[in-house]
Structure 1
């Protein structure tokens, strides 16, 4: 101790840090966190499956005389129609082609990616037309609230 300093004596109770919130703070925080995880983990799992489906769709070669109209596919997860206990995955791609809608449908029918084909009707014969191809899959909904 240096000269001129006054020693300060603390009682044992004053030396311990005080706990303002006590034990109840953990009980107030933990349940909402667990509930949030119970809701978010199934959502993350279905989103990862949808991303894998998008990867499969975009890595499959395009039909001949066909190009991307929009290189960004659209994807969605959820119960799309009806009241079934399932989770529908939908991936839509927009293409420009000189093939007919039937030729596009036949091309995808022979692949592991079967889907519906929507064709722009007012394109001139032999000219380019817009085509939307929609691929769907169904999976178990699990606890994902979007699928119930």
Structure 2
């Protein structure tokens, strides 16, 4: 009798576990892509006279962050810096930046605050990448 119960339990549990793994494989892959993008973005050398403003970077994964239709997985990393450089110098520095995304080159955007009384300004460096959903349920539908 115990063998029959164990057999029934295994007949239910094994397929459910296999299905769970199949569903989670794209999630794990996209989480790894986001982590790799963050590592590449945060490892990129800072411009001169620039430092991290704080070490609590914003890392986000979501569906269609920029709007529109379609099944896209979007990755966004925002790094806040403090710099003595001008906005033009920062734009020139990051204009030459090449950070690999999941499938191609990631897009880089910049946001600036006005300089404070000491002449330092905060700048947000945003690294953005997107690709087709590749079966990740978080980006479908």
**Which of 112, 126, 129 is matched with 2:98 structurally?**
112
* Equivalent runs, 1:127-146 vs 2, <5 Å: 127-146=119-138
Q: For 1:23, what is the secondary structure of its paired residue? A: helix
Q: For 1:70, what is the secondary structure of its paired residue? A: coil
How far, CA to CA, are the matches of 2:93 and 2:119 in structure 1?
A: 19
**Which of 63, 67, 76 is matched with 2:47 structurally?**
63
Match of 2:104 in 1: none
How far, CA to CA, are the matches of 2:124 and 2:53 in structure 1?
A: 9
RMSD over equivalenced CA pairs, Å: 2.1
How far, CA to CA, are the matches of 1:137 and 1:66 in structure 2?
A: 24
- 1:94-120 CA-to-partner distances (Å, cap 9, x unmatched) read 100122333222211111034111111
Counterpart check, 1:77 vs 2:70: no
Rg: which structure is higher? 1
Counterpart check, 1:88 vs 2:81: no
Gapped regions of structure 1 (runs ≥ 5): 1-16
Q: How far off is 1:133 after superposition?
A: 0.7
Equivalenced residue count is: 131
Q: Is the 8 A contact 1:117 1:134 kept in 2?
A: yes
TM-score by length of 2: 0.80
Q: How far off is 1:92 after superposition?
A: 0.9
Following superposition, which runs of at least 4 residues in structure 1 exceed 6 angstroms of deviation? none
